[in-house]
Chains A and B, each alone.
Chain A
Amino acid sequence: MSLNLADVKRIAHLARIAVIDAEMPGYLQQLSNILSLVEEMQAVDTTGIEPMAHAQDLVLRLRDDVATEPDLRAKFQAIAPQVESGLYLVPKVIE
């Protein structure tokens, strides 16, 4: 599967990475190269093979529904780019 500039633009948007137009051809080239590297996978028949998501067949552990973490809000917000009254500030989303 080969990519075009519109694909790269769409991928960049999905990834929330602002790519300027001048960088697009470079990304197109590099991403296409990586995709041709992985294309080799398609030559192998994998009918009936169970996908392997993980090295160990683990079952998710359950625990009692009680709080285990102390309140660290002040500590965590001390390293945030912008906070006010205990809230993280971002540009206005709803007019």
Chain B
Amino acid sequence: MINTSLKELSAQLALKKISSVELTQTFLGRIRELNPKLNAFITIDENKSLAQAQAADGLIASGQAGPLTGIPVAQKDIYCAKGWLTTCGSKMLHNFVSPYDAHVIEQFNRAGAVNLGKTNMDEFAMGSSNETSYYGKVKNPWDLDAVPGGSSGGSAAAVAARLAPAATGTDTGGSIRQPAALTGITGIKPTYGVVSRYGMIAFASSLDQGGPMAKSAADCALLLNVMAGFDLRDSTSLERDKEDYGRDLEQPLKGLRIGLPREYFAAGLSADVAQAIEAALAEYRKLGAQTVEISLPNSKLAVPVYYVLAPAEASSNLARFDGVRYGYRAPEYTDLTDMYGKSRAQGFGAEVKRRIMIGTYVLSAGYYDAYYLKAQKLRRLIAQDFTDAFARCDVIMGPTAPTTAFNLGEKSDDPVSMYLSDIYTIAVNLAGLPGMSVPVGFGANGRPVGLQIIGNYFSEAKMLNVAHQYQKATDWHTRIPQGL
């Protein structure tokens, strides 16, 4: 059951071969057994989950079920869920029981899905290893000495270890794709504006985008159908017709033009990752696709631009955590300024404080033009590179990350080296394009490798098709870590 697709689980629920309560209990049992090793979840509430499962069984019995009714989904702890502790991985929100639902949570509730629990994450989604969480590191189920990636590392580990049939993530600079790659699962970050950010705790608002993380592209399509949609309460939510992201899954790939950016295969890419990517590209050629070399000449600027824009937006977004209306307040202080300063110094972890301070600096008087405005201009050049590239290809492919999962502690003392693990994913956020990661094998150390697929704006259905056809021809996505 733990390796069964969402479509098949849904069919079994409809045929009453299994109930949602039984399904939920199975996964809660796995969480009870394996979460102590992985630390993938921050909050589990069996009663709440089972009550939702019971309600779902009612819907199924009365013939009102949709494709996700009764399916347990683990929710990244960045999504506010009414009555659930919602920490965003931070001490700052250690006591924040959300009074309302994020749009994404509402959508899953409406679909009759079961909230299986809140998954661990880098604090305020700032990190690429899940080591910045106040609630402890998440471990990679393929190797407990390795990081699961981040920031959606809890969701990634939960799906990889089959503690959940599916999960949600968010992606500001690679936070869905990089952990998906490092744990051997499938994840997609949609075009900016497709999934509402309402109730999704903000990090860098012009880059943040929610998306699904699951065992396969077909499962991601079903999840995205529920997550996507216009929402008035997010000022950047796009008003578009509802679409079925699974509509093109079965299209053949004959004639597909795959662009290979030469900058993504240059120095810095480890040999074992390159080898797995080449093998995947060979498989695509067998499926009838052709590859063409392209260039994204401003790629090397993506990391510098991101580390100006994302901290700038974060410093503004995180100003709301001041110890007044919710969250952590320092126990002792002398006056209001001291209360703000101490609450924030004690409530935020080191990486969050670094980014707030960098953001504050680049926005401060005298530096705005040299940093913030400069970065926004370069952002346009980076986005233009993709527009030019898509004139010559249908999708772009390359590695999701330059290496397989690194060891716990390996980069945690060197923020800049950590930042460079996102060199291939960040430009996609800056451009606002959709990107996904698909498992394509293993590196020399037995840790998973992810292939990144980048599509043009609103081409999610096409990308899922491209990923699905590969997954029909290969079985990497069905592999499960052994020996947990």
Interface residues of A (CB under 8 A from B): 1, 3, 7-8, 11-19, 27, 30-31, 33-35, 37-42, 44, 46, 49-56, 58, 60-61, 63, 72, 75-76, 78-82, 88, 90-93
Instruction: Tell me the complex Cα distance, A63–B304, Å.
Output: 38
Q: Which one of B298, B326, B371 contacts A38 once the chains associate, using CB atoms below 8 Å?
A: B371
- Which residues of chain B have C-beta atoms less than 8 A from A78's C-beta? 99
Query: Does the CB pair A34–B307 fall under 8 Å?
Result: yes
How close is B152's CB to chain A, nearest CB, in angstroms?
20
- Which residues of chain A have C-beta atoms less than 8 A from B308's C-beta? 38, 41
Query: Does the CB pair B381–A18 fall under 8 Å?
Result: no
Contact with A along B389-421 (1 / 0, CB 8 A): 000000000000000000000000001100100
Given contacts A44-B301, A93-B336, 17 further A-B contacts (CB under 8 A): A11-B357, A12-B357, A15-B360, A34-B354, A40-B301, A41-B304, A41-B378, A49-B380, A55-B193, A56-B192, A61-B232, A61-B235, A79-B96, A80-B326, A81-B327, A90-B324, A91-B334
B110 contacts partner chain A, Cβ-Cβ < 8 Å: no
B379 contacts partner chain A, Cβ-Cβ < 8 Å: yes
Q: Which residue of B lies closest to A93 (CB)?
A: B336
Which of B329, B336, B357 has the most CB atoms of chain A within a 10 A radius of its CB? B357
Query: Does the CB pair B99–A75 fall under 8 Å?
Result: yes
- Which residues of chain A have C-beta atoms less than 8 A from B26's C-beta? none
Contact A46:B357 (CB < 8 A) given known A16-B344, A41-B301, A55-B431: no
Give how many A-B residue pairs fall within 8 Å (CB-CB). 169
B335 contacts partner chain A, Cβ-Cβ < 8 Å: yes
How close is A10's CB to chain B, nearest CB, in angstroms?
8
Instruction: Tell me the complex Cα distance, A77–B430, Å.
Output: 37
- Which residues of chain A have C-beta atoms less than 8 A from B380's C-beta? 49-52
Instruction: Tell me the complex Cα distance, A42–B416, Å.
Output: 18
B95 contacts partner chain A, Cβ-Cβ < 8 Å: yes
- Which residues of chain B have C-beta atoms less than 8 A from A88's C-beta? 324-325
Interface size class of B (residues with CB under 8 A): 35 or more
- Which residues of chain B have C-beta atoms less than 8 A from A54's C-beta? 206, 236, 432
Q: Which residues between 331 and 368 of chain B lie within 8 Å of chain A, taking CB atoms?
A: 333-342, 344-345, 348, 353-354, 356-358, 360-361, 364, 367
Q: Which residue of A lies closest to B321 (CB)?
A: A16
Q: Which one of B235, B303, B373, B430 contacts A51 once the chains associate, using CB atoms below 8 Å?
A: B373
Query: Does the CB pair B344–A34 fall under 8 Å?
Result: no
- Which residues of chain B have C-beta atoms less than 8 A from A51's C-beta? 373, 376-377, 379-380
Q: Which one of B97, B191, B337 contacts A79 once the chains associate, using CB atoms below 8 Å?
A: B97
- Which residues of chain A have C-beta atoms less than 8 A from B378's C-beta? 41, 44, 46, 49
Instruction: Tell me the complex Cα distance, A61–B235, Å.
Output: 7
Contact A52:B376 (CB < 8 A) given known A79-B326, A90-B336: yes
B300 contacts partner chain A, Cβ-Cβ < 8 Å: yes
Instruction: Tell me the complex Cα distance, A16–B337, Å.
Output: 7
Query: Does the CB pair B357–A31 fall under 8 Å?
Result: yes
- Which residues of chain B have C-beta atoms less than 8 A from A35's C-beta? 358, 361
Instruction: Tell me the complex Cα distance, A88–B238, Å.
Output: 35
B128 contacts partner chain A, Cβ-Cβ < 8 Å: no
12 contacts between A and B (CB under 8 A): A7-B361, A15-B356, A19-B345, A34-B307, A51-B380, A52-B376, A53-B376, A55-B191, A56-B432, A72-B99, A79-B97, A81-B328
Query: Does the CB pair B339–A91 fall under 8 Å?
Result: yes
B176 contacts partner chain A, Cβ-Cβ < 8 Å: no
- Which residues of chain A have C-beta atoms less than 8 A from B373's C-beta? 51
